[in-house]
Amino acid sequence: MSELPPLNTDTIWAILKEDLDDDTVNRLVWHYLGYRYDETNQHWDNSQVSEDWKQDYPEPPDFIANRPPTVKLTRSIPKPNKQLLKEKLGFKGYKIGEFDPRDTRRATMANWLLSYMTDHPEMVRTES
């Protein structure tokens, strides 16, 4: 697996502007949920994943392609952090008619990552 970009506001903007591909965005969320790929054994290690996620998704879900895991991701964002994209980044959202479910899912993932950054600054790698 290739190296992940640092988790910082530039990366969050890159997600929103689609400067990062879907696979990289998925891998970022997987990483911060605790999923690790074991190259030696060629399988996903979920020992660092919370029981709630591990039970529903023993392997990391594709948040871009599937709605249910994105709904779970949305629900896992603490209420005070629901508007972080707007409050911290000034993100105004997408214009009606100019977005699709994929854009909405990427925005959810960006908001979840920003929430993670806010609540767990000690766990976040902010530099390359």
For the stretch 37-84, pLDDT in tens is 999 999 999 999 999 999 999 999 999 999 999 999 999 999 999 989
Strand bridging mode 36-38 / 43-45: antiparallel
Which residues, at least 6 apart from 49, have a Cβ–Cβ distance to it below 8 Å?
33, 34, 35, 57
Q: In a 3-state reduction of DSSP, which class is residue 40?
A: coil
Lowest mean pLDDT among 1-10, 54-63, 96-105, 107-116: 96-105
Report domain extents, the chain: 9-122
pTM of the model: 0.88
CA distance 61 to 10: 24
The gap between the terminal CA atoms of the chain, to the nearest Å, is 16
Span 9-122 CATH architecture:
Orthogonal Bundle (1.10)
Which residues, at least 6 apart from 39, have a Cβ–Cβ distance to it below 8 Å?
1
